[in-house]
A and B are shown apart, each in its own frame.
Chain A
Amino acid sequence: NAGVTQTPKFQVLKTGQSMTLQCAQDMNHEYMSWYRQDPGMGLRLIHYSVGAGITDQGEVPNGYNVSRSTTEDFPLRLLSAAPSQTSVYFCASSAIRTGGTYGYTFGSGTRLTVV
């Protein structure tokens, strides 16, 4: 089925470890983004991209890196994990021309725990 695929679904890291959360979409969407969702905090934008080779920071970018080498993939890298990064991470995409009308397609999320 077409959509946004996130891996892994669950991950436990030790403080200081690094890892990459994967996000791939097969809808040829130009726009991709990463959010984190914490209890009582709603959704907070980490980084986003409007096309291959173009990325920009969102509301809470510290401690995270992204790159966009292809239209399909938008990985999120945690450089040195901290307990404050324990959260559920969502990737979302949209077609830029229609994003304002049709909204975003979300992945199913990655639940990350940093101990």
Chain B
Amino acid sequence: GDSVTQMEGPVTLSEEAFLTINCTYTATGYPSLFWYVQYPGEGLQLLLKATKADDKGSNKGFEATYRKETTSFHLEKGSVQVSDSAVYFCALSRSWDSNYQLIWGAGTKLIIKP
């Protein structure tokens, strides 16, 4: 079945470091891909999305490119801040799915040290 695999955390970085959080997926057809962020004590917020191959989603300095050839949607940021500490979830949506479900990765906790 369809699935999303994220790198295990926690990922610990120093402020201003470069960030990559890996996400790969398995799906038939052409899903939409999402990154959500969950700050401590809060609900999930949509961070960015891409709906077709080679699309690049971006928001708040984060970027991810939909790579169909490698079935990946890795999250990157050039210079992280302490305020980026959160849990990041990768997810896919199958537009042909009549149940309208998102398939979720397990989440990756990011810790940024000053």
Which residues of A are interface residues toward B (Cβ below 8 A)?
4, 31, 40-43, 45, 48, 50, 56, 90, 92, 94, 96, 99-109
Contacts and interface: CB of A to CB of B under 8 A. Distances in A.
Nearest to B51: A101
B53 interface: no
A109 B38 CA distance: 11
A100 B43 contact: no
Contacts of B32: 100-101, 103
A56 B101 CA distance: 12
B89 A109 contact: no
A106 B97 CA distance: 20
Q: Chain B contact residues (Cβ within 8 angstroms of A): what range?
A: 20 to 34
B34 to A, nearest CB: 5
Interface stretch (B17-25, B63-71, B103-111): B103-111
B86 interface: no
Contacts of B107: 42-43
B95 A100 contact: yes
A71 B89 CA distance: 27
Query: Which residue among B32, B101, B105 has the maximum number of chain A CB atoms within 10 Å of its CB?
Result: B101
B105 A99 contact: no
Contacts of B106: 40-42
A107 B42 CA distance: 8
Contacts of B93: 99-101, 103
Contacts of A50: 99-100
B42 A42 contact: no
Contacts of B46: 102-105
Interface string B41-55: 011111001010000
Given A42-B104, A43-B104, A90 B89 contact: no
B99 A100 contact: no
Contact of A106 (B43, B49, B99, B101): B43
Contact of B100 (A41, A96, A106): A96
